[in-house]
Amino acid sequence: MATKTELSVSVGTPAEEAGLKPFKVTLNIRRYNPETGDEAFWQDFDVELYATDRVLDALHKIKWEQDGSLAFRRSCAHGVCGSDAMRINGRNRLACKTLIKDLDITQPIYVEAIKGLPLEKDLIVDMEPFFESFREVQPFLVSNTPPAGGRERLQSIAERERFDDTTKCILCAACTTSCPVFWTDGQYFGPAAIVNAHRFIFDSRDENAAARLEILNDKEGVWRCRTTFNCTDACPRGIQVTKAIAEVKAAVVRGRP
């Protein structure tokens, strides 16, 4: 006779299974609905969370359990797609990479849209001006001469290392929208566009550095940077944004080294 195998099925969340206790957190979210025509306003939400939760989890709980009209962007939920940059307690961060336990939960957590881009709804801004600047710097490899031997464009480890840091950009806009120069009129190309220009300007296989440097020598280009380091502090990928901008400034003056 066959013996019955008993399967134990887990029903709790990983946090519950780990024995963590939930606690109440207040999120104060800046809301805006263009359809009502009302001014933006702050709204409190109390949520039960675990220390292992992130701000993105809190936003999901609010949207799914309290107010389905809350609007925000997210896709990967793991710091890869760059779609959930927002201001959390006054600093630009990715909601999916900001743990609740790293914030002061004795106070409300303030969450609002990133600054300097047109507000569309709640935490969603129009990213088109940001991507327009990105596109203008030609963020792609340009090479008109055939590769040696007609095959690969070889590069040494040192040559690859030269622009390694700026390959990590996920286009979240946290840097550009933390920049006071960008806030003033939004015409400045902004740190992210310069970071992505840097990625190709210093690529030994690329043949269009001079054109990109000319584009960034514009009055809205690299010279608008006031070296405030907000961009470097805001970058969730740890890119040395201010250093990259300084290297592009030097290349504008002296040419690509």
| Site residues for ligand SF4 per CB under 6 A | 82, 169-175, 191-192, 195, 234-235, 237, 239, 241
| 169 touching ligand FES, by CB under 6 A | no
CB of 76 to ligand FES, least distance (A): 4
CB of 171 to ligand FES, least distance (A): 10
Size of the site for ligand FES (CB under 6 A): 12
Q: Could you please report the per-residue DSSP string of the chain? A: -PPPPP-----S-HHHHTTPPPEEEEEEEEE--TTT-PPPEEEEEEEEE-TT-BHHHHHHHHHHHT-TT-----SSSSSSS---EEEETTEEEEGGG-BGGGS-TTSPEEEEPPSSS-EEETTEE--HHHHHHHHHT--S----SPPGGGS-----HHHHHTTTGGGG-----TTGGG-HHHHHHS-S--HHHHHHHHHHHT-TT-S-HHHHHHHHTSTTSGGG-----HHHHH-TT---HHHHHHHHHHHHHH---
Nearer to ligand SF4, 25 or 166 (CB): 166
Which of 18, 40, 80, 154: binder of ligand FES (CB under 6 A)?
80
Which of 50, 53, 72, 82: binder of ligand FES (CB under 6 A)?
82
- The span of 63-71, 72-80, 104-112, 138-146 binding ligand FES (CB under 6 A) equals 72-80
Nearer to ligand FES, 96 or 179 (CB): 96
- Closest C-alpha to 205, from 251, 136, 245, 159: 159
Nearer to ligand FES, 171 or 213 (CB): 171
Task: Identify what 109 binds: ligand FES, ligand SF4, none; CB under 5 to 8 Å per kind.
Answer: none
| 63 touching ligand FES, by CB under 6 A | no
Nearer to ligand SF4, 25 or 190 (CB): 190
Task: Identify what 30 binds: ligand FES, ligand SF4, none; CB under 5 to 8 Å per kind.
Answer: none
- Say if residues 214 and 148 touch (Cβ distance below 8 Å): no
User: Rule CB under 6 A: which residues touch ligand FES?
Assistant: 74-77, 79-84, 94, 96
